[in-house]
A and B are shown apart, each in its own frame.
Chain A
Amino acid sequence: MPARVLLGIVAGVHGVRGLLRVKSYTADPLALGAYGPLVDDAGRPVALTVMRPAAGAKGVVIARVAGVGDRDAAAALKGLRLHVDRAALPAPEGGEFYCGDLVGLTACRADGGIAGKVAAVHNYGGGDVLEIEAPNGSSMLIPFTKAAVPVVDIAKGRLVVEPPVEIEAGPDS
């Protein structure tokens, strides 16, 4: 489990009064500051106040950092990465897992063999999908269902995968 979770990054400045455009990686972009004190890469606290969503940019919010009052000072913060302690995130509900917790878990097969590591968690509207990267560099995509992933043990850093049988549907099959 990572010690910190990246929640946003300063993308640029807004206006001449020290406001910032911040790209938020939270499900609700305006909840960027709702999980507790934000810190930068070095662990220094960043007193950020989210003000409103940025017009015309999905996932971007306008925010203010305490002590930053002009455009030059705001521009110096461009690229600042905003983290929060993993422990500050609320416990997920039953059957749910933070994607950040799943990434990096070792994927084992039911017989105990190693299938690879979880490289990413995707969701393109058709359910969550785990991308498992095998030791030889190839990757496979597994639907995040109880049938295909019967065991998820974040404390032990592993999950068990049972890849579903693939059958082809085509004009010749």
Chain B
Amino acid sequence: MTRSVWKGPFVDGYMLKKAQGVRAGGRNEVIKTWSRRSTILPQFVGLTFGVYNGHKFLPVLVTENMIGHKFGEFSPTRTFHGHTGDRKAKRVETPA
């Protein structure tokens, strides 16, 4: 059963406070969190979270496309290290 709309998206309250603090500071910071269950809100876009996967904190740079998903979706607990092939990595600029 899906979550009732009247409740709004679930997010741990301290995540919002921390995000506001980091955004106000404007520094290059990673917010380490264990809250994989929290929903990604528009307020988090542009921030980098270190989401715990049971082993380490995986950096997750939040973009607009990720709104509505949970943090845990971007920090897999089981990983397979494949080959690089022709994969490319893009060095992005984080919005201030």
Q: Which residues of chain A have a CB within 8 Å of any CB of chain B?
A: 5-8, 24-27, 31, 35, 89, 92, 95-100, 102-103, 120-129, 141-149, 152, 162, 164-171, 173
- State the main secondary structure of chain B at its contact with A: mixed
Judge whether A169 and B33 touch: CB under 8 Å. yes
For chain B, the bracket of interface size reads 35 or more
Judge whether B84 and A165 touch: CB under 8 Å. no
Given contacts A99-B84, A100-B87, A129-B58, 12 further A-B contacts (CB under 8 A): A5-B86, A25-B85, A27-B88, A124-B74, A126-B59, A126-B62, A129-B59, A143-B30, A143-B48, A145-B94, A147-B93, A152-B91
Q: Which residues of chain B have a CB within 8 Å of any CB of chain A?
A: 12, 14-15, 18, 22, 27-35, 48-51, 56-63, 66, 73-76, 79, 81-94
Contacts of A8 in B (CB 8 A): 85
Contacts of A27 in B (CB 8 A): 85-88
**In the assembled complex, how far is the CB of residue A36 from the closest CB belonging to chain B, in whole angstroms?**
12
Judge whether B30 and A164 touch: CB under 8 Å. yes
Judge whether B74 and A126 touch: CB under 8 Å. yes
Q: Which of A8, A122, A169 has the most CB of B within 10 A?
A: A169
Judge whether A164 and B33 touch: CB under 8 Å. no
Judge whether A124 and B76 touch: CB under 8 Å. yes
Judge whether A98 and B88 touch: CB under 8 Å. yes
Q: Which of B35, B59, B92 has the most CB of A within 10 A?
A: B59
**In the assembled complex, how far is the CB of residue B93 from the closest CB belonging to chain A, in whole angstroms?**
5
Closest to B13 in A: A171
Q: Which of A7, A8, A96, A128 has the most CB of B within 10 A?
A: A128
6 contacts between A and B (CB under 8 A): A6-B85, A24-B85, A124-B74, A124-B76, A141-B59, A164-B29
The CA-CA distance from A103 to B88 in the complex, in Å, is: 12
Contacts of A129 in B (CB 8 A): 58-59
